[in-house]
């Protein structure tokens, strides 16, 4: 853990990803944990970008919705309403730390087209120069079912690569990747994953509940993709935010592959 704490403390740019179920509904108060972590990293002179789900879930109670919409127009409408509420809540939390949030909405086309990808990088760079914290989400209001990231774990991997981040932190409802379903007594947390081979005998669920679209499978996939780009990944419970970076806590650390010398 000491080595990993050093890596965080020495980082120049950290990307944090948080899922819908961790900061909406009955867990809405946990957004304070995420924003507290952002403030702590900023105090260490570390730039932070947050990839945040939660737009659709944030609109559910306002619109009287109790489950994820099955048609695209309704999902798009919910995202449009909920994104405004989500950003307002981020700024409310950031006001406690004298931080400013910026909304950045991206689509697959933005990241795959060289011109728009370059424009996105320039926008991120200027926001960070200004000391602002970009809050990134997929632009669900215009994204199509056929062309989309599918989950924000994948978006976080793309953003981390785009920005050449020093670390991606995946915050979840579980504290680590386990050898089997976490609720089984014989499942054990995996502290470190050096390569995909370490997961060959591991049973990982790809299911999700509520308004979220991810799951352990998407997180592992995003982590491996990020590590392949030379960026380490930490996965842990959002409740452990207050312990990062200097305290002991349960988590899984994915080691970076082929890290380029800076």
How is the chain split into domains, by residue range?
A: 2-254
Q: Using CA atoms, how far apart are residues 81 and 69, in angstroms rounded to an integer?
A: 14
pLDDT digits (tens, 9 = 90+) for 198-250: 887 676 665 444 444 446 888 999 999 999 999 999 999 999 999 998 888 99
Angle between helices 152-163 and 216-228 (to 10 degrees): 10
CA 89 to chain CA mean position, Å: 17
For residues 49, 257, 242, 48, the Cα torsion angle rounded to the nearest 10 degrees is: -10
Task: Find how far residue 242's CA is from the centre of its chain.
Answer: 17
Cα 211 from Cα 262, distance rounded (Å): 40
pLDDT digits (tens, 9 = 90+) for 95-153: 999 999 999 999 888 899 999 999 999 999 999 999 999 999 999 888 665 445 667 99
Identify the pLDDT of residue 183: 81
Most confident of 29-43, 57-71, 170-184: 29-43
| CA contacts within 13 A on the Cβ side of 179 | 9
> Distance between CA atoms of 250 and 172, rounded to whole angstroms?
12
The predicted structure's pLDDT at residue 252: 95
pLDDT at 92 > cutoff 60:
yes
The crossing angle, in degrees rounded to 10, of helices 31-43 and 72-95 is 50
What is the pTM assigned to this prediction?
Answer: 0.91
Question: In this predicted model, what pLDDT tens digit does every residue of 29-55 receive, in sequence order?
Answer: 999 999 999 999 999 999 999 999 999
2-254 belongs to which CATH class? alpha beta
Residue 136 DSSP SS3? strand
- Average pLDDT on 88-93 reads 98
Cis peptide leading into residue 245 (ω within 30°): yes
Q: What pLDDT score does 262 carry? A: 37
């Amino acid at each position: 853990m000491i080595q990993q704490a050093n890596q965080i403390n020495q980082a120049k740019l950290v990307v944090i990803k948080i899922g819908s179920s961790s900061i909406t509904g009955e867990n809405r108060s946990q957004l304070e944990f995420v924003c507290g972590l952002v403030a702590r990293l900023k105090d260490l002179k570390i730039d932070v970008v947050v990839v945040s789900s939660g737009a659709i879930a944030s609109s559910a109670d306002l619109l009287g919705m109790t489950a994820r919409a099955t048609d695209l127009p309704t999902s798009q409408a919910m995202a449009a309403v909920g994104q405004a509420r989500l950003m307002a809540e981020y700024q409310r939390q950031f006001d406690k730390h004298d931080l400013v949030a910026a909304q950045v909405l991206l689509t697959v086309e933005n990241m795959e087209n060289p011109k728009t990808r370059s424009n996105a990088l320039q926008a991120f760079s200027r926001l960070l120069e200004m000391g602002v914290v970009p809050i990134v989400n997929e632009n669900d209001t215009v994204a199509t079912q056929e062309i989309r990231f599918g989950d924000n774990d994948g978006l976080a991997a793309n953003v981390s690569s785009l920005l050449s981040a020093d670390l991606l932190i995946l915050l979840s409802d579980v504290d680590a990747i386990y050898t089997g379903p976490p609720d089984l007594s014989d499942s054990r947390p995996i502290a470190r994953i050096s390569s995909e081979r370490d997961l060959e005998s591991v049973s990982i669920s790809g299911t999700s509940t509520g308004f979220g679209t991810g799951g352990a499978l998407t997180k592992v996939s995003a982590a491996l993709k990020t590590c392949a780009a030379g960026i380490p990944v930490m996965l842990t419970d959002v409740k452990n935010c207050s312990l990062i970076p200097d305290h002991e806590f349960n988590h899984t650390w994915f080691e970076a592959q082929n890290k380029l010398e800076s």
